[in-house]
Amino acid sequence: MKRLFDFIVVSIVLTLLIPLMGMIALLIKAGSPGPIFFRQDRVGLKEKRFKVLKFRSMVERAEEIGTSVTTQNDPRITSMGRVLRKTKLDELPQLINVFKGDMSFVGPRPDVPEIVEKYNPEMRRIFKVRPGITSVATLHLKNEERILTQVDDPDTFYEEVLVPLKVKLAMEHVDKSSFTFDLKILFQTIWMLTLGRWWPIEEQGEIALLRLRMEESKKIRRGEGEKGRRGEGEKGRRGEGEKGRRGEGKKIWKRKKTLDTFEILKSTGELLKQQ
């Protein structure tokens, strides 16, 4: 029933959106050199690989000149690309993936093979369902790129914190798999894109945990971090001679900064893996 619904609806939607997609394609081509579409290997139903489609929002060969993770202020994003990513219009070509059967309207967001290789057996349960354009994680992590901008090491943070969190949320698609559940997520997505700015949907417990950990991180960076950078007051600046001023002060700041990413934030991912 779900596949039939996807096929009928996507056939209608694609027909209606052809003029809009054509206009976007022309603007992308006129705005910067390179292809119109971005294609990337993703892992879907039963761990089958497929090419996901998106409108190109970054400079040509962006993957060769930067990290695999995209942050909000990534210089590789084109001016047209910023508009597309903000409005989620860059995702429209995935309707073709839905038409072909690689994806569904609703389901876990598919990840790249390099990330999937690190999944544990429990995490691989998400391959029991078809990946989707929108998901529970899409609803609650819509500001993912902004979150990645706030951390020192986006790649590590993505793999050790966001991936376990996304998979944890994706399990709802496996455990609550039903046509009714999919319709709920679909309508919540429409709400988020239209009225969510003024009336946001209820925050998931896992997202609240991440937000609290991010706040703890900021306190360390701005509060205790400042104390550590200055050498824990007079003792750090002057105490224990040159060692206290140049050695311990620097060591303390480095330790606090490390605590920020690899203890407080990473512990979020560890906790989610255990749940």
Last residue of a domain, one of 202, 228, 255: 202
Are 217 and 195 part of one and the same domain?
A: no
Are 52 and 149 part of one and the same domain?
A: yes
Last residue of a domain, one of 202, 235, 262: 202
Burial of 48 from C-beta contacts in 10 A (0-12 / 13-18 / 19+): exposed
What is the C-alpha to C-alpha distance for residues 16 and 102, in angstroms, rounded to an integer? 21
Question: Average pLDDT, stretch 111-129?
Answer: 94
Are 87 and 124 part of one and the same domain?
A: yes
Model confidence over 139-156: pLDDT tens digits?
Answer: 988 888 888 888 888 889
What is the C-alpha to C-alpha distance for residues 242 and 248, in angstroms, rounded to an integer? 9
Are 120 and 42 part of one and the same domain?
A: yes
Last residue of a domain, one of 202, 233, 253: 202
Burial of 149 from C-beta contacts in 10 A (0-12 / 13-18 / 19+): middle
Are 256 and 193 part of one and the same domain?
A: no
Is the model's pLDDT at 248 over the cut of 50? Answer: no
Model confidence over 199-210: pLDDT tens digits?
Answer: 888 877 777 778
Are 171 and 214 part of one and the same domain?
A: no
Q: Give me the pLDDT at residue 256, please.
A: 39
Domain coverage including residue 27: 2-202
Q: Where are the alpha helices (DSSP H) in 32-151?
A: 79-87, 94-100, 113-116, 136-140, 144-149
* Cα atoms in the 13 Å half-sphere on the side-chain side of 83: 6
What is the C-alpha to C-alpha distance for residues 128 and 12, in angstroms, rounded to an integer? 27
Residue 231 binned pLDDT confidence (cut-offs 50, 70, 90): low
Are 67 and 147 part of one and the same domain?
A: yes
Are 218 and 190 part of one and the same domain?
A: no
Are 245 and 142 part of one and the same domain?
A: no
Count of structural domains within the chain: 2
Are 269 and 157 part of one and the same domain?
A: no
Task: Name which residue leads in pLDDT, 194 or 36.
Answer: 36
Are 215 and 181 part of one and the same domain?
A: no
Are 50 and 66 part of one and the same domain?
A: yes
